[in-house]
Amino acid sequence: MPDPAPCGFLVLDKPAGLTSHGCVSRVRRAYGLRRVGHGGTLDPAVTGVLPIAVGPATRLLPYLAGDKTYRGVVRLGLTTSTDDLEGEVLQHQPVPPLDQASLERALEPFRGAIQQRPPQVSAVHVDGERAYARQRRGETLELAARSVTIHRLELLGWNQPTAELELTVHCSAGTYIRALARDLGAALGCGGALARLRRLRALGFGLDQAVSLEALPQPLLDPLVALGHLPQQHLQADQWDSWRCGRALAASQPHGPESVVAVLAPDGNLAGMARAVAGGLLQPKLVFDAAG
């Protein structure tokens, strides 16, 4: 019997200058596989945590925790077409005298649940097409603001001579740090753009688990490592065939309506994902090694 296809996660420390898709291509070559996907696009200039799913683990990406953590530098005194230093400078403005206290006051409205307008150059879909593709054709888009949550926004330092402040941001999926830099600059009346950014955590993975592209191939992380935020149900031997056929099974403990549960095979490996439904049942949503 042939060996089973690799299934698991790889955490890359993405270098600057490479797209997320380019990283996926490098992983495909390193492992000799086509079925590879990434979780959460990083702009080419951004470095840090890029989770990569290999083999059947690509089907688990929608179930991973969405929050992300970044460390970045915002430069005040300018606005650009992309809200970072990669774009065309649209305007220079003088930066007022600022100190820690005034910056903290300016940051406060950005903490918690906020409305945020994505950058013109973003992966947001507009009429079925990515915003960045339309922007490259010279279109100016009116992107609608979206609800995002900034759980933690910490000022790490301020350098008045360079007009740069350093931040740590822990935020929900869909938050743009470039947009935060733009809006903070607008609030201070001088404009702002993202100068540097490094992602520290994404989808439950951190830099401590990350490897460089040059170190590939590496052993893959067990899929269960990525699902620790979810409740689990361990199948008994007499439930195995029924699960593989996609039949609902009795939950071993109460779950809230529509809760997602990781289901483990009798040998302890991940068997798939289920959703809690009425009657104390778990309905299979994703079944590895399905029968038939």
**Could you tell me which of 51, 11, 47, 54 has the C-alpha nearest to residue 31?**
54
The answer to whether residues 54 and 27 touch, using CB atoms and an 8 Å cutoff, is yes
Q: What is the set of active-site residues?
A: 43
b/e 232-253 (16+ beta carbons within 10 angstroms → b): ebebeeebbeebbeeeebebee
Beta strand segments in the chain, E: 8-14, 36-38, 47-54, 68-76, 78-80, 89-92, 112-116, 125-126, 129-130, 146-159, 164-171, 192-202, 205-206, 232-234, 249-250, 260-264, 270-277, 281-287
Estimate to the nearest angstrom the gap between the alpha carbon of 138 and the chain centroid: 28
Distance CA 69, CA 203 (A): 10
Closest CA to 198 of 159, 167, 172: 167
**Core vs surface per residue 185-210: b (16+ CB within 10 A) or e:** beebebbbbbbbbbbbbbbbbebebb
Q: Which of 120, 102, 90 is nearest to 191 (CA)?
A: 90
